[in-house]
Amino acid sequence: MRARVLVRPKQGILDPQGQAVQRALPALGFEGVGDVRIGRLIELEVADPAQLPAMCERLLVNPLIEDYEIVEAAGAPASPLNGGAIGG
Amino acid sequence: MRARVLVRPKQGILDPQGQAVQRALPALGFEGVGDVRIGRLIELEVADPAQLPAMCERLLVNPLIEDYEIVEAAGAPASPLNGGAIGG
Q: What is the pLDDT of residues B21-71, one digit of tens each?
A: 999 999 999 999 999 999 999 999 999 999 999 999 999 999 999 999 999
User: Which helix H or strand E contains B54, and what residues bound it?
Assistant: helix B52-55
Residue of A nearest to B61 (CA): A21
Spatial distance between the Cα atoms of A86 and A72, rounded to a whole number of angstroms: 13
Q: How far is CA A64 from the centre of its chain?
A: 15
The answer to whether the Cα torsion of B13, B16, B20, B23 is positive or negative is: positive
Decide if pLDDT at A79 tops 50: no
Residue of B nearest to A37 (CA): B43
Answer whether A35 touches B (CB < 8 Å): yes
The larger pLDDT score, comparing residue B56 to residue A83, is at B56
The pLDDT of residue A22:
97
HSE (CB half, 13 Å, CA atoms) of A64?
A: 0
Check CB contact under 8 Å for B40 and A45: no
The pLDDT of residue A53:
97
Q: CATH number of the domain at B2-72, please?
A: 3.30.1280.10
Residues of A with CB below 8 A from B28's CB? Answer: 55, 58-59
Spatial distance between the Cα atoms of A7 and A29, rounded to a whole number of angstroms: 29
- Write the ipTM: 0.82
For A33-75, the pLDDT digits (tens) are 999 999 999 999 999 999 999 999 999 999 999 999 999 876 5
User: Hey, where are the domains in chain B?
Assistant: 2-72
Spatial distance between the Cα atoms of B69 and B56, rounded to a whole number of angstroms: 9
Check CB contact under 8 Å for B37 and A37: no
For A60-71, the pLDDT digits (tens) are 999 999 999 999
A67 Cβ contact list (under 8 Å, min separation 6): A7, A8, A9, A10, A61, A86, A87, A88, B78
- Which value, to the nearest 10 degrees, does the dihedral of the CA atoms of residues A79, B87, A65, A85 take? -30
Q: Which CATH architecture has domain A2-87?
A: 2-Layer Sandwich (3.30)
